[in-house]
Structure 1
Amino acid sequence: MNVLQLGGDNWAEQYQIPSDIKWEFNAYPVKDKKRQHRYDALIFTGEPELTGDEWFQLQWLVDPYKVFCLPKVKTAAGRQLRLFLQQQKAAVIDQLPQDLIADLIPKYYTGQSGLRILPGQLLLNTRHVPAYRFVDGQHVDVDVDAGNQWQDLGTYKQNLFIDPHHLIKFWLEYQGTGFQLRLRIFIQPNGGDGDVQDCHYLEVTGNQELELPIAASPDIRFACIGLEVRGSGKLRLGVLHSRWSRAGHGAFLTGGERIVDPAKHEDVAYYFNPGDMRPPLNVYFSGARGLEGFEAYPLFRNTHAPSLLFTDMRLEIGQFYTGPVIEERIKQVIREKLAELGLTNHELIMNGISMGTYPAMKLGMQLSAYAINVAKPIANLGYVAERGRLQRPDEFATIFDIDAQIARGLDEQSLRQLDEEFWRLASQTDLTDTRLFISVMNDDDYDNRALTNLQNNSAVQKAKQFSYKGFGGRHNDDPASIQWFAQRVAYLTGKEFKRSNVFNE
C-alpha cells in the first residue's frame, strides 16, 4: 500500500508504520514523471503549495474517500485545497494518528470481493425441519417452530475461505416474520481443527450487514457456517452473501453504499465518484456477475467526469435491478446525486452492458436522460425465458428465477405480459431530448428482439437521436460491441460536453 502524507511533521518518524505500507512524505510533485505512481491513501497534515495543474494531476492519483485531513487543515484550507477535499469526499481525521495508520490496510485496501452461498448449499437439520420446499433455485420455504430456544436449522456444506488481510461480513436474504435468525460461525486455521471457543453468533437484524468480529490476519483461515432460528413462522430463505468488509467504510469499494429492500432483505449497491463535479453525470449498471462488486470503475474514472456505479447482488448473478422498491430507490439516488452536483436530467447519461442495459433503458427513459448508451441490450426478460426450452436449453436457467420475482407466473401468458408492460411504460416516456446509442449482436441468443422493439416504440421514434451498430455473433461472441460502447462513453462525455481531458490521464 502506497500512502502519501503532505504537510506538517513526518508521521513515519513519530509512529509505527506497518511493513506493508510504503510511506511517502511530501513526495509530490515528482520531478521525474516516469516515477509517478498512484496512492492508496492521501493524508493532509498541512496545506502544500501546489500549482493548479499539480492539484489537478493529484486528484487522479488517489481515489475518492481515501483522502484524510486534520481538522485544523480543513478549517484553514485555501480555495484549491477546499475544492480538492470536496471532489475527493475527504474525511476529517477524528482518531489518533496511530489508530488511523492501523486502519489503512484493513479498511482502505484496493480491490473488492463478494460471494453468494445459495440455499441449496444448506444441509437442513431434518430433526428440526420435517418438511421444506424449494420455490426456485434461489429460495427455499421452511416452516419454523422453534419456541423460545435457539434451534439448529442447518449447516452450509462448504467451508468459507477467509482471505488473508481481510475482514469479513455477511448478509442473509430472507422473508417472513415471527422468528429470529442468527449465523453460527466457527473459525478454523488452515490445517487445524480450531478451538471450540472460537465460535461467533451473529444475529440477523435490521438493514446492516453482519461484521464477523475477528481481526484481519495474514494467516489462511476457514469458517464453518451454521444457521439457527428462534420463534415460529413461515421462513423463505434466500442467498447468504459473504463479502470483504471495510468495517463501515464502504460496500465493496471505499465509499460504496447499499440500497435495501426491507421486506425481502435484499440489497443492491452503488458508488458515487464526484470526479471534477462538471457535467455530465455518467450512471453505469454492472452486468451479470458471479463475483459480487462493481464494474467499469477505471473506464468512468478516466473520463474525469462524475460517475455513479450500480451493482445488483441478488440471486445467482443479479436480478436486472428489478422490483418496485429497488427501482424507485435507484431513481431517487440518481436524482440526489444530480442535485448534489447542481446538474439536471439533461446532463445525465445512462449506461449499461447486457444485464445492465435493462435498468439503463427503463430508468433512463423514465428520467428523460440526455443520453442512453447500451451494449447487447436485454429488455424482454419474459422472451429470454421462453427461448430457454428450445433455443437455449440448460444455458441460462437463472432467468426463470429472475422472472419468478417480477412476473405473475412462469406460464407463456405471464411472461409475455411482463415484456408488454416494459414497452407500455417505455411508450409513455418523453424522449424528445434524449439520444439513444445501441450496440447489438446480430445473432443475440438472449434477446434478439430488443432492437426491433426499440425501433417500433412510439417514444423512441420521437427521440432526438437513435443510433445503433450491429456486430456478428451471439451475445458474448465479439468484444467489439463493448469497445463501441466505450467509444460512445468517450464521445458523449468528451465531445458532447466539450471536455478535452477524456482518457488523457
Structure 2
Amino acid sequence: MAKNKIIQFGGLAVPLSDQILEKFDYVHVEGNYDLYSDEEKLKLFQDGVFNRRANRNLYIFGRDAVLLQNFPGLLEQFPPFQLFYDEGAEIDPSQKKILDIKKAEPFDPEAESQEALYAKINDLSIEQIGYNIEMDFIRVNPSFKGDVTRMGNVFMELDGDFGDDYKQLLSWKMHPYGIEAHGRVNFIPEWRIDSEGVEIEFRIFYIDFNTGQTTKIITGKPEDFASEDIILVNESDTGQHIATSLYAKGKGKFRVGNVHFRNAFSDKSALMKGGQRFQDKDRLNQEIFHLFNPGDMKPPLAVYFSGYRPAEGFEGRGMMNRMGCPYLLISDPRLEGGDFYMGSESLEKELVDVIQEHLDFLGFERRDLILSGISMGTFAALYYAADLQPSSVIVGKPLVNVGDIAMNERIDRPELWGTSLDMVMDHTGEATVAGAKRLNQRFWDKFDKGDFNRTTFAAAYMIHDDYDQKAFPMIEKSLAKNNPQSRVLQKGFIGRHNDNTPGVTEWFRKQYRNILWEEYGRRVRF
C-alpha cells in the first residue's frame, strides 16, 4: 500500500526521524515550484482544482515558498490541519488568513529539537480508533452491601456506605483492546456524583501481552481523565492489555456509565486531527464530537451527522471532502453506537451553537447551510433544522419516532436493536409504552414549530421500514400543514430499513450533487 507524502516547498530540508519516514514518503521541491504545470511529479492540481487524492498528505512551506506570498486560489484548497510553515517567513496578510483558517502550524527549522514538529506530524498518522466498554463488562465487589441499580446500558447507580478509605468497588472484565508499544490512549469515563460525601477514582492496570504481569498502574479522578490531563502512555516495546477498576470512599450515591478508550493526540484532538468534543455536564458528562473542514471557504456549509456506529468515529469524511465546500462532521458516541443526538437542554443548545459558530466564522448566512444524515443521522438533521432554518435538509432512511423504534423491537424487529430500548430509558427515565410515546412527541413538538417555508427537503425512505415506517409520511404531512411553501423531493425504496443501503446512499449523493449545482454553482463528482 502506497504511503502518504510529506511535501516540502522550499526552505532547508527538515530532518525527519526514521519513525516518521516509516509512515510517510518525503518529497522536497523548490519554493517556486510550478503547480499550474504540475502533471507528473506531485499531481496536486488539475486545471487549478486540487486533487482530492492528495488530501491525506502533509505540506511544509519553507521561508521562500511562493504560496506564502501569492496564489490564494491554490492555497485555500489545501487540506486543513496538515500544513506547516516556517515561522520566520514573510507572509502576505491574505495568505496568513488562509493559513489561520486552515489551522496551519508554524515551526522553527533552526530549533535544536524538532520534537514538537514530530509530535504534530505523528498526530496526522494516528488512526481513528475509539471504543467503549459497556455495562455488561462491569463486576460489582461482592462485599458491597449497598444498593445497586442498573438502568439498561445507560448507567449503573450505587448508593451506600463505601467506607473511610478507598476500596475497589467496580471492575471491568478484561477486554481485547489495549495500548500498542509506544502508544498513547485517552480514557474517558461517564460518571455523575450525586452526594457531596462520595469520592471516586479510577485505576488503570497495564498488563504485559507476553507475560501477563502488571507493569504499571495509573490512578486518577474521573475529571482528570475526562479533561485529558491524564493520558495513558505505553513507553515499553511490547503491547499492554488494559484492566479498569473504580475505587470509592464516603457515603452517598453516584452513577457510572460507559467508559471510552481512544487514541490520544498531542493537542487533545478527538478521534482525528482537529476533532473537537463537548460534554453534557448535566448527564454523566457524555460527549458529542465534531470535526470542521473549511474547504475552499465558499458557501455552503454542509453538516453531516454520522449514523449508528459502535466503533466510535466520524462518518462521511471522504464524501464530504469530494464536495470541496466547507463541512462539519458530527458524531454521537453514547450508548452502544449513538443516542440520536438528543440530550439535556444544555447539550442540545451546545450542538446548535457549534453549527452557528462555524457559520459565523465563515461569514455565511443560514441560507448557506445544509443539514444531512443517513439513518440515525437523519433524526439530528431534521430535529435541529427547526433551530437553524437551513437552506436544505438531505436525509436517507429517516428515523424520527424513536419510541416506535423501541416498541418495534418486540414484533416487527425482534431482539435486533436493543439500543433503542436504552434510548427510551435514557431520555424518559423509564422503559414503558408511555415513555416511548413521550419520546416520539419530543421530536414533533420541535419539528412542527419549525419555519421551513424556504427549505428544501430531499428524502429517500424505505417503504417497509421495520424501524420507523411512519417517519416519512408524518414528515410530509407536517410540512404540508405547517410549511406549505417548503419543497419536498422524495424517493421510496422497497424493503426494510437495511435492505437497500447502496441505493439510498446513491440517491443521497445525487441530491447533494444537484443542490450544490443548482443553488451554489458547484460541480461535484462522487
TM-score norm. by structure 1 comes to 0.91
Point out the more displaced range, 127-136 or 91-100: 91-100
Matched, 1:291 2:299: no
| Superposition pairs of residues 85-96 of structure 1, within 5 angstroms | 85-93=99-107
| Amino acid in structure 1 at the alignment position of 2:153 | G
Within 2, Cα distance between the matches of 1:420 and 1:431?
Answer: 19
Q: Structure 1 residue aligned with 2:247, among 206, 209, 228?
A: 228
Within 1, Cα distance between the matches of 2:376 and 2:237?
Answer: 36
Point out the more displaced range, 28-37 or 101-110: 28-37
1:444-481 per-residue CA deviation (whole Å, 9 max, x = no partner) reads: 11011011101211566424311110112111111200
Within 1, Cα distance between the matches of 2:248 and 2:107?
Answer: 41
Q: Structure 1 residue aligned with 2:261, among 225, 242, 262?
A: 242
Q: Do the aligned partners of 1:145 and 1:232 also contact (CA within 8 Å) in 2?
A: yes
Partner in structure 2 of residue 455 of structure 1: 476
Within 1, Cα distance between the matches of 2:41 and 2:493?
Answer: 40
| Amino acid in structure 2 at the alignment position of 1:283 | V
Partner in structure 1 of residue 325 of structure 2: 305
Q: Do the aligned partners of 1:167 and 1:247 also contact (CA within 8 Å) in 2?
A: no
Secondary structure at the aligned position of 2:260 is classed as: strand
Q: Structure 1 residue aligned with 2:88, among 63, 68, 72?
A: 72
Q: Structure 2 residue aligned with 1:425, among 446, 465, 469?
A: 446
| Amino acid in structure 1 at the alignment position of 2:40 | D
How far 1:24 moved relative to its partner? 2.2
Partner in structure 2 of residue 277 of structure 1: 297
The answer for unaligned runs of 5 or more in structure 1 is none
Matched, 1:486 2:509: yes
Q: Structure 2 residue aligned with 1:166, among 183, 186, 192?
A: 183
Partner in structure 2 of residue 203 of structure 1: 221
| Amino acid in structure 1 at the alignment position of 2:290 | Y
Partner in structure 1 of residue 171 of structure 2: 155
Secondary structure at the aligned position of 2:414 is classed as: coil
Aligned residues: 498
Partner in structure 1 of residue 155 of structure 2: 139
Within 2, Cα distance between the matches of 1:6 and 1:17?
Answer: 22
How far 1:139 moved relative to its partner? 1.6
Partner in structure 1 of residue 133 of structure 2: 117
Point out the more displaced range, 29-38 or 277-286: 29-38
Partner in structure 2 of residue 3 of structure 1: 6
> CA 1:423–1:379 in structure 2 vs 1: closer, same or farther (change >3 Å)?
same
1:265-316 per-residue CA deviation (whole Å, 9 max, x = no partner) reads: 1111101111111100001100001100000011111111010110001111
Q: Percent identity?
A: 26
Partner in structure 2 of residue 48 of structure 1: 65
Within 1, Cα distance between the matches of 2:122 and 2:12?
Answer: 25
Partner in structure 2 of residue 435 of structure 1: 456
How far 1:40 moved relative to its partner? 3.8
How far 1:141 moved relative to its partner? 1.4
Matched, 1:22 2:25: yes
Within 1, Cα distance between the matches of 2:115 and 2:325?
Answer: 33
How far 1:499 moved relative to its partner? 1.8
| Amino acid in structure 1 at the alignment position of 2:516 | T
> CA 1:34–1:275 in structure 2 vs 1: closer, same or farther (change >3 Å)?
closer
> CA 1:204–1:50 in structure 2 vs 1: closer, same or farther (change >3 Å)?
closer
> CA 1:149–1:26 in structure 2 vs 1: closer, same or farther (change >3 Å)?
farther
How far 1:59 moved relative to its partner? 5.7
Q: Do the aligned partners of 2:187 and 2:232 also contact (CA within 8 Å) in 1?
A: no
CA RMSD of aligned residues (A): 2.7
Within 2, Cα distance between the matches of 1:464 and 1:261?
Answer: 33
1:78-127 per-residue CA deviation (whole Å, 9 max, x = no partner) reads: 25632541342212337865113431454222530111101220222112
Secondary structure at the aligned position of 2:221 is classed as: strand
Within 1, Cα distance between the matches of 2:405 and 2:179?
Answer: 37
Q: Do the aligned partners of 2:133 and 2:258 also contact (CA within 8 Å) in 1?
A: yes
Secondary structure at the aligned position of 2:442 is classed as: helix
Q: Structure 1 residue aligned with 2:119, among 97, 100, 103?
A: 103
| Amino acid in structure 2 at the alignment position of 1:305 | C
Q: Do the aligned partners of 2:61 and 2:68 also contact (CA within 8 Å) in 1?
A: no
Partner in structure 2 of residue 191 of structure 1: 210
Within 1, Cα distance between the matches of 2:14 and 2:220?
Answer: 37
Q: Do the aligned partners of 2:208 and 2:214 also contact (CA within 8 Å) in 1?
A: no
Partner in structure 2 of residue 402 of structure 1: 423
Point out the more displaced range, 366-375 or 107-116: 107-116
Secondary structure at the aligned position of 2:256 is classed as: strand
Secondary structure at the aligned position of 1:146 is classed as: strand
Partner in structure 1 of residue 520 of structure 2: 497
Q: Do the aligned partners of 2:301 and 2:359 also contact (CA within 8 Å) in 1?
A: yes
Within 2, Cα distance between the matches of 1:96 and 1:398?
Answer: 53
Q: Structure 2 residue aligned with 1:363, among 355, 364, 384?
A: 384
Within 2, Cα distance between the matches of 1:55 and 1:339?
Answer: 21
Secondary structure at the aligned position of 1:499 is classed as: coil
1:144-202 per-residue CA deviation (whole Å, 9 max, x = no partner) reads: 53344221112211243224563100111112233232221121222113355x21113
Q: Do the aligned partners of 1:119 and 1:240 also contact (CA within 8 Å) in 2?
A: no
> CA 1:52–1:357 in structure 2 vs 1: closer, same or farther (change >3 Å)?
farther
Secondary structure at the aligned position of 1:199 is classed as: strand
Partner in structure 1 of residue 494 of structure 2: 472
> CA 1:404–1:438 in structure 2 vs 1: closer, same or farther (change >3 Å)?
same
> CA 1:186–1:51 in structure 2 vs 1: closer, same or farther (change >3 Å)?
closer
| Amino acid in structure 2 at the alignment position of 1:32 | E
Q: Do the aligned partners of 1:352 and 1:360 also contact (CA within 8 Å) in 2?
A: yes
TM-score norm. by structure 2 comes to 0.87
Q: Do the aligned partners of 2:75 and 2:98 also contact (CA within 8 Å) in 1?
A: no
Within 2, Cα distance between the matches of 1:116 and 1:320?
Answer: 17
Matched, 1:32 2:40: yes
Within 1, Cα distance between the matches of 2:494 and 2:357?
Answer: 40
Q: Structure 2 residue aligned with 1:352, among 360, 368, 373?
A: 373
> CA 1:64–1:165 in structure 2 vs 1: closer, same or farther (change >3 Å)?
farther
How far 1:219 moved relative to its partner? 3.5
Point out the more displaced range, 149-158 or 403-412: 403-412
Matched, 1:214 2:217: no
Secondary structure at the aligned position of 2:469 is classed as: coil
Q: Do the aligned partners of 2:179 and 2:234 also contact (CA within 8 Å) in 1?
A: no
Point out the more displaced range, 259-268 or 146-155: 146-155
| Amino acid in structure 2 at the alignment position of 1:277 | M
Secondary structure at the aligned position of 1:143 is classed as: strand
| Amino acid in structure 2 at the alignment position of 1:484 | W
Secondary structure at the aligned position of 1:305 is classed as: coil
> CA 1:85–1:351 in structure 2 vs 1: closer, same or farther (change >3 Å)?
same
Within 2, Cα distance between the matches of 1:26 and 1:483?
Answer: 40
| Amino acid in structure 2 at the alignment position of 1:319 | D
Within 1, Cα distance between the matches of 2:152 and 2:465?
Answer: 26
